[in-house]
Amino acid sequence: MTTVAVLGTGVIGTSWAAHFLRHGLSVVATDPAAGAEDRLRAGVAAIGAPAERLRFTDDVGAAAAAADFVQENGPEREDVKLAVIAAADAAARPDVVIASSSSGLLPSAIARGAAHHPERVLVGHPFQPPHVVPLVEVVPGERTAEAAVDAAVAFYTGVGKKPVRLRRELPGHVVNRLQAALWQEAYSLVERGVVSVADIDTAISNGPGLRWALLGPFATQHLSGGAGGIAHVLEHLGPPTEAWWRDLGQVTLTPALVDAIVAGVDAELGGADPAELATRRDTALRALLDLKAEGGLG
């Protein structure tokens, strides 16, 4: 593969474009928003990716027709994605995979836009920002061919990603559902006045988040069991864990809770510039990824 079509050049699309360019691919991008090309080129430059192989077009079909792989990044609205997928499906070669970056829509629903080749449509959901974080969730729909899944996994692996192939489609896929479970209890704890927003962030980023970044929850739990491993953990902590599950809070995003969360984040960050904070985060993430690779944990 030599050319990727990036359909939609917002935050995710720009990050994808930069990542593909960094890995030696040509990118043909498209976005209907006014000023999209200028913002894309500025974003790619800010990330530090080479732009000589970047081309922009106003025509989704033209972008898809030129591509060996299509990465769609439109708004998280089914009607918009169906229209974009329809245009790409009508123009792309039959063997070209069309992957959506959707963070939660089902690939079977998205594939309804593909009148010609729904079997090549799937979700390729990155984790933000794609040019730094390796994870991609590859999610086939009801009509997705196994060959398309294999091609997507091979493609993402070839550009330095860590693809995870889901065997069943679910709203939110896997990682966003895991995050949602944590957010549910975090928001509930804030709502009940147990801890502050800043306390939650401190607890996760200085506690389990550090270990999860290296090995994930199951392997981390296994190491916690000493010689007995995860079997020992489940034998001794399984019953109390089940009791904690039953006691987890149910929460609704009421206006009062939303206001409390927003105020808590504002107080925690103390007016820090989000762009500067994101840059520091990405620098630290790259260093962590290097250390993981050096330590055989990549």
Would you state the pLDDT for residue 270? Answer: 92
Would you state the pLDDT for residue 116? Answer: 97
Q: What percent of the chain has pLDDT over 70?
A: 100
Would you state the pLDDT for residue 6? Answer: 98
On whether the CB atoms of residues 119 and 146 are closer than 8 A, the answer is no
Could you report the per-residue pLDDT of 190-200, keeping only the tens digit for each? Answer: 999 999 999 99
Would you state the pLDDT for residue 287? Answer: 95
On whether the CB atoms of residues 118 and 111 are closer than 8 A, the answer is yes
Decide if pLDDT at 277 tops 90.
Answer: yes
Decide if pLDDT at 250 tops 80.
Answer: yes
Domains identified in the chain and CATH numbers: 3-165 (3.40.50.720), 175-294 (1.10.1040.10)
Would you state the pLDDT for residue 1? Answer: 85
pLDDT band of residue 91 (cuts 50, 70, 90) is very high
Decide if pLDDT at 298 tops 90.
Answer: no
Could you report the per-residue pLDDT of 4-22, keeping only the tens digit for each? Answer: 999 999 999 999 999 999 9
Could you report the per-residue pLDDT of 112-165, keeping only the tens digit for each? Answer: 999 999 999 999 999 999 999 999 999 999 999 999 999 999 999 999 999 999
pTM of the complete model: 0.93
Would you state the pLDDT for residue 214? Answer: 94
Could you report the per-residue pLDDT of 46-72, keeping only the tens digit for each? Answer: 999 999 999 999 999 999 999 999 999
Decide if pLDDT at 236 tops 80.
Answer: yes
- Taking the C-alpha atoms of residue 288 and residue 292, their distance in angstroms, rounded to an integer, is 6
Would you state the pLDDT for residue 183? Answer: 97
- Across the range 91-101, mean pLDDT stands at 97
